Amino acid sequence: MDFVRPLPAIIAGAQGRVLAVLVETTAELNLRTIARLSGVSVAQASRVLPKLVELGVVERRDAPPSALFRFVPENVAARAITCLANVRRTVLAELGRAAAELTPPPASVIVFGSFARGEADSRSDLDLIMVRATGIAEDDGAWRAAVERLRDGARRLTGNRVAVLEVGEREAGRLLRSRKPLWLDVRRDGVVVFGPDLSARKVAKGV
């Protein structure tokens, strides 16, 4: 999945681009502004907008000498469009719920890399850190199954390759306090979807 441009990735052409602009604002925009922001020609925008108005996902208000257009979030089809525009947020929430259902549960699950920075496209990996709780052996059969369950679920959820970095709970705190480049990136950009936040784990030296 392209998480940077989800709407144009699924809704091809000028229509997807125009919707991507309108769904991000509550303001009324004129035709030329919509065309400029969406990167399409005025002629393309003028062909797309009447159809969107007809479908009810966009409203038109005449304000001579131009017309103004606004996305209608209450529209039933617009709700699906909004959901598609917010797929990154949905994935983060779903990953947290999936982690909570694992047995044994991880101590934390952290998303890092391009997905955490909001830069992941269809070629990007979804990078996860799974922190193994103290007392669970690395080769514990149930834990290994839990890791694979989350990996497989994340792949199905996103359609992207999933890379899992697994660390123990004590090791995670030490690494987060280190100056290693990867862990500096995790501290700067990491998004915790399950477990304590990064600052809490970083200072938990006695864990």
- 66 domain residue, yes or no: yes
Q: Hey, how many other C-beta atoms are within 10 angstroms of the C-beta on 128?
A: 25
Q: pLDDT at position 136, please? A: 93
Residues 125 and 79 placed together within one structural domain of the fold? no
Q: Of 84, 101, 133, at which residue does a domain stop?
A: 84
pLDDT digits (tens, 9 = 90+) for 98-146: 999 999 999 999 999 999 999 999 999 999 999 999 999 999 999 999 9
Q: For residue 1, is it within any domain?
A: no
Residue 91 lies in a domain: yes
Domain count, the chain: 2
The residues near 152 (Cβ < 8 Å, ≥ 6 apart) are: none
How far apart, in Å, do the first and last CA atoms of the chain sit?
37
Helix (H, G, I), strand (E, B) or coil at 142: helix
* pLDDT for the residue numbered 54: 95
pLDDT at position 153: 96
Write down which residue in 32, 59, 84 finishes a domain.
84
Q: What is the pLDDT of residues 142-174, one digit of tens each?
A: 999 999 999 999 999 999 999 999 999 888 888
Given 84, 99, 133, the domain boundary residue is 84
Judged against a pLDDT cut of 90, whether residue 206 lies above it is answered with: no
| pTM (2 d.p.) | 0.80
104 and 183 inside one domain: yes
Nearest in space to 25 (alpha carbons), one of 67, 82, 77 = 82
Range of lowest pLDDT (11-15, 42-46, 126-130, 146-150)? 11-15
| Residue 28 within a domain | yes
Residue 16: give the domain boundaries: 6-84
